[in-house]
Amino acid sequence: MAEAPRGRGQAAPMVMAAGMRYRWPKARTDCLVIDELVLEAGERVFLRGPSGSGKSTLLSLIGGVIQPGAGTISVAGQPLASLSAGARDRFRADHVGFVFQLFNLLPYLSGRDNILLACRFSAARRSRLAEAGVSPEAEVARLAARLDLAREVLARPAAELSVGQQQRVAAARALIGRPGLVIADEPTSALDADRQQAFVDLLLGECAVSGAALLFVSHDLRLAAHFDRVLDLEAINHAAGAAEQRA
Amino acid sequence: MTPVLALSLRSIGNRRLSVALTVIAVALSVALLLGVERLRNDAREGFAQTISGTDLVVGARGGAVQLLLYSVFHIGNASNNVSWQSMQRLAALPQVQWLVPISLGDSHRGMRVVGTTADFFTHYRHGAGRALGFAQGRAFAAAPDGLFEAVVGAEVAARFGYRIGQRIVLSHGSLGGEGGPRFADHADKPFTIVGVLGRTGTPVDRSVLVGLEGIEAIHVDWHGGAPIPGLSIAPEHVRKFDLSPKSVTAALIGLDSRVAVFRVQRQINTMGPEPLSAILPGATLQELWSLVGVAERALLAVSALVVAVGLAGLVAVVVASLGERRRELAILRALGASPLQIFALLALESVLLSLAGIAGGLGLLYGAIALAAPWLSASYGLDLAAGWPSAGEWRLLGAVLGASLAASLVPAWRAYRYSLADGLTIRI
- Give a yes or no: residue B25 inside a domain: yes
Q: Are A95 and A125 in contact (CB under 8 A)?
A: no
Cα distances from A96 to residues A174, A176, B256, in angstroms, run 7, 11, 87
- Counting the structural domains of chain B, the total is 2
Where does residue A151 rank: exposed (0-12), middle (13-18), buried (19+ CB within 10 A)? exposed
The rounded distance, in Å, linking the Cα atoms of A111 and A149 is 9
Q: Is residue B284 part of a domain?
A: no
Quick one: B67 and B164 in the same domain?
Answer: yes
B415–chain A nearest CA distance, Å: 16
Q: What 3-state DSSP class applies to A226?
A: coil
> B287 in a domain, yes or no?
no
pTM of the model as a whole = 0.70
Size of interface A-B (CB pairs under 8 A): 71
Consecutive 10-residue averages of pLDDT for chain B (428 residues): 76 84 90 86 78 88 88 82 88 90 87 90 84 87 82 90 88 58 72 88 88 84 70 73 84 89 90 87 85 81 88 85 81 86 87 91 89 76 71 87 88 84 65
Q: Are residues B335 and B240 in the same domain?
A: no
B70 plus B18 within the same structural domain: no
Q: What is the mean pLDDT of chain A?
A: 85
Q: Determine the 3-state secondary structure of A85 from DSSP.
A: helix
In whole angstroms, what is the distance from residue B330 CA to residue B336 CA? 10
Burial class of residue B249 in the structure, from the number of CB atoms within 10 Å of its CB (0-12 exposed, 13-18 middle, 19+ buried): buried
**What is Dmax (Cα atoms) for chain B?**
107
Which residues, including other chains, have CB under 8 Å from residue B283's CB and lie 6 or more apart?
A: none
CATH 3.30.70.260 given to domain A15-246: no
Residues in chain B closer than 8 A to A59 (CB atoms): 424
pLDDT of A34 higher than 80: yes
What digits encode the pLDDT tens for the residues A68-85? 888 999 999 889 989 988
B264 and B299 in a single domain? The answer is: no
| B243, B326: one domain | no
Average pLDDT for residues A90-114, to the nearest whole number?
A: 88
| Å between A195 CA and nearest CA of chain B | 23
Write the single-letter amino acid at B428.
I
Tell me the torsion sign for CA atoms A56, A188, A213, A170.
negative
Contacts of residue B332 in chain A, CB cutoff 8 Å? 106
Are residues B330 and A82 in contact, defined by beta-carbon separation less than 8 angstroms? no
Question: Do residues B105 and B222 share a domain?
Answer: yes
Q: Do B272 and B303 fall into the same domain?
A: no
Q: What per-residue confidence (pLDDT) applies to B101?
A: 92
Q: Does B332 lie in the same domain as B223?
A: no
Asked if B270 has any chain A CB less than 8 Å from its own CB, the reply is no
Which of the listed residues B279, B307, B335 is the one where a domain comes to its end?
B279
> β-strands B191-197, B134-137: how paired?
antiparallel
Contact call for residues B87 and B253 (beta carbons, < 8 A): no
3-state secondary structure of B424: coil
* Cis status of the peptide bond prior to B144, with omega within 30 of 0: yes
Instruction: Assign A43 a pLDDT band (cuts: 50, 70, 90).
Output: very high
Q: Taken in order B246, B252, B258, B259, is the CA torsion positive or negative? A: positive
User: Which of B279, B303, B329 delimits the end of a domain?
Assistant: B279
Cβ proximity of B354 and B26 under 8 Å = yes
* Bridge partners, residue A184, by sequence: A99, A216
B 3-42 → A contacts, CB under 8 A: 3, 6-7, 10-11, 13-14
B423 CB within 8 Å of a chain A CB: yes
Are B39 and B234 spatial neighbours (Cβ–Cβ below 8 Å)?
Answer: no
Do B249 and B319 fall into the same domain?
A: no
**What is the per-residue pLDDT for A73?**
92
Spell out the residues 6+ positions from residue B34 whose beta carbon is closer than 8 angstroms to its own: B361, B362, B365, B389, B393, B396, B397
C-beta of residue A98 within 8 angstroms of C-beta of residue B334: yes
Short-list B408, B202, B246, B390, CA closest to B314: B408
Tell me, yes or no, if B219 comes closer than 8 A to chain A by beta carbon.
Answer: no
Here the ipTM equals: 0.82
User: Is B220 found in the same domain as B299?
Assistant: no
Q: What DSSP state is assigned to residue B227?
A: E
d(CA A208, CA A212): 6
Q: Domain for residue B428, yes or no?
A: no
Q: Could you tell me if B239 and B350 lie in one domain? A: no
Alpha-carbon gap, residue A187 to B285, rounded angstroms: 78
Domain that holds residue B37: 2-47+292-422
The answer to whether B316 and B416 are in contact (CB under 8 A) is no
**Start-to-end Cα distance in chain A:** 22
- Which chain B residue's Cα is nearest to A88? B336
- pLDDT higher than 90, residue A196: no
What residue ranges do the domains of chain A occupy?
Answer: 15-246
The helix (H) or strand (E) run that includes residue B46 is: helix B16-48
Helices (H), B49-139: 64-71, 84-91, 119-123
Cβ B338–A109 below 8 Å, yes or no? Answer: no
* pLDDT at A187 > cutoff 90: no
**Backbone φ, ψ for residue A148 (5° rounding):** 60, 45
pLDDT, average across residues A50-59: 81
Kindly tell me the burial class for residue B323, based on how many C-beta atoms sit within 10 Å of its own C-beta (0-12, 13-18, 19 or more): exposed
- Regarding whether B409 and B327 lie in a shared domain, the answer is yes
pLDDT of residue A7: 43
Residue B256 domain flag: yes
A93 to chain B, closest Cα gap in Å: 4
The C-alpha atoms of residue B75 and residue B73 are separated, in whole angstroms, by 5
Which of B424, B425, B426, B427 has the highest number of chain A CBs within 10 A, making it the mutation to test binding with A? B424
Q: What contacts A29, CB < 8 A, 6 or more positions away?
A: A23, A239, A240, A241, A244
CB contact (8 A) between residue B335 and residue A100: no
The domain boundary residue, chosen from B279, B309, B333: B279
* Cα angle for residues B247, B253, B254 (degrees, 5° grid): 155
